Structure 1
Amino acid sequence: MSLPDAFPEYAARHGPFFVVLNAGSGHHDSDKQQALIAQAFKEGGREFEFLLIDDPARINEVARRAVELALSRQGVVVAAGGDGTINAVASVVISSGCPFGVLPQGTFNYFGRAHAIPQDTLASARALLGARIEPVQAGQVNGRLFLVNASLGLYPQLLEDREVWKAQLGRSRLVAFLSGIATLLQSRKQLHLQIESAGKAVALRTPTLFVGNNHLQLTRVGINEQQTDAVEQGQLAAIVVRPIGTLALFGLLMHGLLGQLGEAENVDSFSFRRLTVTPRGVKRIKVATDGEIAWMRTPLVFEIAPQPLLLLVPAPADRAEVA
């Protein structure tokens, strides 16, 4: 199907919204959220349709259906959920040419917050009505998209353990913090990595490698301004922790909570456009992308996605404070 060049702009201003809604994201009640979203769109005189994710295994299928509808009816695909849901829907949307809207409903919502999208459901839905398109950079590792971050080593383990704690105690930042402490107490493993970028290669040992694509998250933990700015200029930022013991890891956790991670002597950071990472002695390794974990074959190639995401960002009057 051949689409007119004006399709994204027309869709953003006048097209129907196809809302992919994850009923399980965050602590929100699904029926209540649907009612608020519907209220906003009805008030704005926009057509809309909900496509519900009733099974996490079907999220790609539901997202593909939303893209098909948006292409055939010159509409907008909207993801309602946390960063993981937004990532999954964006992974399908990014190559389609469809404009993409976000209704943040997760615990941290770094992607939405970084683009001044309101965290309140009614406000974010209303903001979509007057939003404009802004091409937004995405990262990828071995072709798998990430909007906020990707990582290997200790960080994916933190995420896995956090999900276990959330299943038992519920979703909150306190639960995430406590589960992180428990993981650090048990952490012993070091990765042996060969990394290569811009023709330079180095071997290193580290408990974790973290790659960021979100200036807000990087700023909050205190990564230096040079790397944070690089993310705004077409690069990704890598954070590497030197081999340290459990007490030193707790120190790094406190530095991060205080927004001073970049000042810690055991942390190195650098920016890049393409980074090849080869773990020693393993053909497959766990990698986390926007909070979702998958096994990937090595070597790992981190790079900027070839196409930007056509994100709907709020008009100045509807922008939330970036915080």
Structure 2
Amino acid sequence: MRSKSQLQEAIRRERRTVLIVNTHSRRGRRLYQVVRDHLAPFQLLGTFPVERPGQLPGALAAAIALGPDLLVAGGGDGTVSEAARHLAFRDVALGVLPLGTTNNFARALAVPPRPAGALGVLTAGKVADVDLGQAGDTIFANHANIGLSAQVGLRVPARLKRHIGKTAYPLTAVVRLAWHRPFRARITSGGTGYEVVTHQLNVVNGRFQAGQPITSDATVDDRLLHVYPLGGRRRRQLLSASLRQALAGHRRATAPPFLATDDLLVETDPELPLDVDGEVHGRTPVRIRLLPNALRVMVGPSFVDT
């Protein structure tokens, strides 16, 4: 593995780059050619427009086989998370183009939401090492959640996402909540056990969840996962907690405290599916752990790389 400065210099000097864009995402189809034109000064080894989610793993494997120093992934959190899985512990930097709905990982990296600003990071930014998480056998960039979000991720209408963006998620959650039952979760970390009864348990890498900040001091390179229930056993508690977070921009200081850890076991009654960066992967019980410095990414000059 090269040092960060050596990889950064190789990107600036040789610009060996591959481009993958989810052209089925909210803005991917419209912006694919714009992004490709902007990358003309780079040495594009290959470009991969991906029309269907099932094509993405094969496209990423083919792109990495070309031997780039920089892999640019355009799409939403699902696309970026899949790219992160493929690039974990590799000597290749990920360039993030946020073209999705919530863009949690891009927000955590302080990548500008507009394509022009995000593309500017590729030319004027720097290489940083950030953390990933792993839930069971599945690596994630942003979150591994249990409860209502697994149902929402499966059922949020694509047309609704296209028209109203990230607001589609809480609206779908309100509809699904009428049938959702609370569950009991036992969390074991560092030899200590915790129990909560809730509709939603979140395990987050970084600061953002559902397009909103959860706290002011979490980062994607703080070597911690942040664990918290969103609301309690009653439906109104989840609704009020979600609404307060959406309006205030972060959770209240009096909200249930975070468990900040790098390794935990989650058991639930009943066993439940896992929402891992918007896709269902596995079920509880599950071990969730931090993978420190697992991914190299392009970030803006102001990003504090610890």
CA distance in 2 between partners of 1:176 and 1:155 (Å): 9
Matched, 1:112 2:106: yes
Residue among 83, 86, 90 paired with 2:84: 90
Matched, 1:47 2:43: yes
Contact 1:40 / 1:126 at 8 angstroms: preserved in 2? no
User: What's the RMSD between the two structures over aligned residues?
Assistant: 2.7
Contact 2:226 / 2:260 at 8 angstroms: preserved in 1? yes
What is the TM-score of this pair, normalised by structure 2? 0.86
Contact 1:230 / 1:236 at 8 angstroms: preserved in 2? no
Matched, 1:24 2:35: no
Match of 2:259 in 1: 270
Residue among 269, 281, 288 paired with 1:302: 288
Match of 2:32 in 1: 34
- Correspondence list, 1:125-136, <5 A: 125-136=119-130
Residue among 40, 48, 57 paired with 1:60: 57
Please list the CA deviations of residues 148-192 of structure 1 after superposition, one character each: whole Å capped at 9, or x if unmatched. 211011221222232xx33467442333332222122332x2222
Q: Taking structure 1 as reference, are residues 157 and 263 closer, same or farther at Cα in structure 2, changes over 3 Å only?
A: farther
**Residue identity matched to 1:176:** Y
Match of 1:313 in 2: 299
**Residue identity matched to 1:235:** L
Q: How many angstroms does 1:205 deviate by?
A: 2.6
Contact 2:160 / 2:168 at 8 angstroms: preserved in 1? no
Q: Taking structure 1 as reference, are residues 145 and 272 closer, same or farther at Cα in structure 2, changes over 3 Å only?
A: same
CA distance in 2 between partners of 1:242 and 1:258 (Å): 15
Matched, 1:205 2:197: yes
Whose radius of gyration is greater, 1 or 2?
1
Q: Taking structure 1 as reference, are residues 160 and 263 closer, same or farther at Cα in structure 2, changes over 3 Å only?
A: farther
Match of 1:173 in 2: 166
Same amino acid, percent of matched pairs: 20
**Residue identity matched to 1:211:** V
Out of 237-246 and 80-89, give the one that drifted further.
Answer: 237-246
Please list the CA deviations of residues 199-241 of structure 1 after superposition, one character each: whole Å capped at 9, or x if unmatched. 1123433222101112244994554x5xx44765211100124
- In the alignment of these two chains, the number of paired residues is 298
Q: How many angstroms does 1:249 deviate by?
A: 2.5
**Residue identity matched to 1:253:** S
Aligned residue for 2:178, secondary structure, equals helix
Match of 1:161 in 2: 155
What is the TM-score of this pair, normalised by structure 1? 0.82
Contact 2:204 / 2:225 at 8 angstroms: preserved in 1? yes
- Correspondence list, 1:134-149, <5 A: 134-149=128-143
Contact 1:194 / 1:203 at 8 angstroms: preserved in 2? yes
Q: Is there any run of 5+ residues in structure 1 with no aligned partner, and where?
A: none
**Residue identity matched to 2:11:** A
CA distance in 2 between partners of 1:295 and 1:220 (Å): 25
CA distance in 1 between partners of 2:299 and 2:246 (Å): 28
